[in-house]
Chains A and B, each alone.
Chain A
């Protein structure tokens, strides 16, 4: 009887199973609260500072406050991503999970889909609310831009994408490293990569730097992209390649290991 269950139905069941897991933990709500509330509050703060800056320096990127304030959110959802797998490994629950669903890649895909959807939604909410708030503050000083301004919708959407990217990367790292502390360390290490590359001799630091998560993110979320980095379209690809490669590595390792 069970042999006739279509793959699509089984996939949906695994997806719902992971959805139940994610929403039945308090830590999920706390993390999302931090991920949504801090950037909105901080971006408003940065905007106020910018608007009241004395003197007239070079014109600032009106989208900058939104980008700067995302760092807490990115770390919060990154940790949530790592925990989504590492908590199952550390408690041993993963054995129950893989006994119920022997297709381990289906579990990985379901977790990535559920976490990805939640963090993408949260990210876009943060991005657009922050944008509205920041522009409301900046427009008082005639520094703001409307959402209809060319390049703005894409940059704001990309802002929201960052949470998704880091969360899914964290999830992949959690599956690869299988320890919470190790997974978080790996995630932070990858995020901080530009700081290390900056130590390289001048042309090389920038050449490798273009491939890092942070530089790619900076490029896709800026209103006026830097000219010494990849074009925004390429940067977007690089940005998405990081979680994709992490998930791929996890998918390769997850079926080969004893649990």
Chain B
């Protein structure tokens, strides 16, 4: 179990983590989400005792990380897969880490085999691809067979094959009954692997919930409608209690009536309908809702005219500056 308790971390004038509290419990893959610069990596470093919190405390299995004896048996961490000495072989790299925690050579060989690196075990890591380095990092994290795993952006920069491998691997580890905390700035990635989500922005907790709950909590469910007689149909729907928004391209976004009801209504009045699309907010939308206010460095979408009102039914971070 990982507990983060009222942790504050300041770097000079910058507050990277701002009163963050959450608990990661065993038996789940927990996604640790937030935009770039939200404080995910700093939080992980605080948990591992690499950085000291300005105030508050992070504990692993009820202990400060600093006080753990042979910590690799309790927590396996992968912060930066490229943090390797280029001149050392994969095997020597793992052996040196293993030995520091009293782990034998056999376990090193097993981990090399598990991660598919046995063929390159005696090669210097200088020539390794990012994918191979990620595998090596995971092999190192698993050396102590820890019940808790913590991985920082493990799929960043990987090719499709590498991403598939990591995803599959994480699921297998969770199925094994381990606690897995995986950070990412990509909601879509987490949607496929995480059961629970901890979302942070600007160092503050935005959500600590299950993936399913996060989706259903989003209120954005509507029907997109296109019709040559849109104005007439809009009036009819409003009379029946629906809320209608006109989108930029002339389509209507309707809430309060479902698609069959709208279709029936249009048919009964002989109004042509060219498109009728029920829209459910994706996890991505729910995430953008949460973090939209907390993105540090926002890109301005050149297609959004200055002062144009953003489309309320389909919020996008690009539209936000106009708010």
Residues 72-102 of chain A, each 1 if its beta carbon lies under 8 Å from chain B, else 0: 0000000000000001100111011111111
Return B35 CB to nearest CB of chain A, in Å: 22
Chain A, interface SS category: helix
Contact A91-B51, Cβ < 8 Å, known A3-B69, A17-B97, A17-B99: no
Contacts of A207 in B (CB 8 A): none
* Stretch of A23-31, A153-161, A196-204 that contacts chain B: A23-31
Q: Which residues of A contact B86 (CB under 8 A)?
A: 91
Shortest Cβ distance from B73 into A: residue: A2
Q: Check if B71 sits within 8 Å of A100, measured CB to CB.
A: yes
- B229 adjacent to chain A (CB < 8 Å): no
Q: Is A234 an interface residue (CB 8 A)?
A: no
Interface-located stretch among A5-13, A39-47, A165-173, A210-218: A5-13
Q: Which of B75-83, B186-194, B211-219, B260-268 contacts its partner?
A: B75-83
Name B60-76 residues within 8 Å CB distance of A: 65-75
CA distance A18 to B87 in the complex (A): 15
- Answer yes or no: B175 CB below 8 A from chain A CBs: no
Give chain B nearest CB distance to A103 CB in angstroms. 8
- B side interface size, CB within 8 A: 38
Q: List the one stretch of B18-26, B88-96, B165-173, B315-323 in contact with chain A.
A: B88-96
CB distance from B55 to the nearest CB of A (A): 15
Asked whether any CB of chain A lies closer than 8 Å to the CB of B157, the reply is no
State A20–B91 Cα separation when bound (angstroms). 11
Number of residues of chain A lying within 8 A (CB) of chain B: 33
Interface check B298, CB cutoff 8 A: no
A20 & B92 in contact (Cβ 8 Å cutoff): yes
The yes or no answer to A14 lying at the interface (CB within 8 A) is yes
B71/A99 in contact, CB under 8 A:
yes
Q: Is B48 an interface residue (CB 8 A)?
A: yes
Cα-based distance from A10 to B67 in the complex (angstroms) = 14
Closest A-B pairs by Cβ, 8 of them: A92-B83, A24-B92, A17-B100, A258-B51, A20-B96, A17-B99, A2-B70, A259-B50
Sample of 13 further A-B pairs with CB below 8 A, known A1-B73, A13-B100, A97-B97 = A2-B69, A2-B73, A2-B74, A10-B69, A13-B99, A17-B97, A24-B96, A92-B82, A93-B85, A96-B79, A96-B83, A99-B48, A258-B52
B→A interface (CB under 8 Å):
45, 48-52, 65-75, 77, 79-80, 82-89, 92-93, 95-97, 99-102, 140
Can you list 7 A-B pairs, Cβ within 8 angstroms, ordered by A?
A17-B96, A20-B95, A91-B85, A93-B83, A95-B50, A96-B83, A258-B51
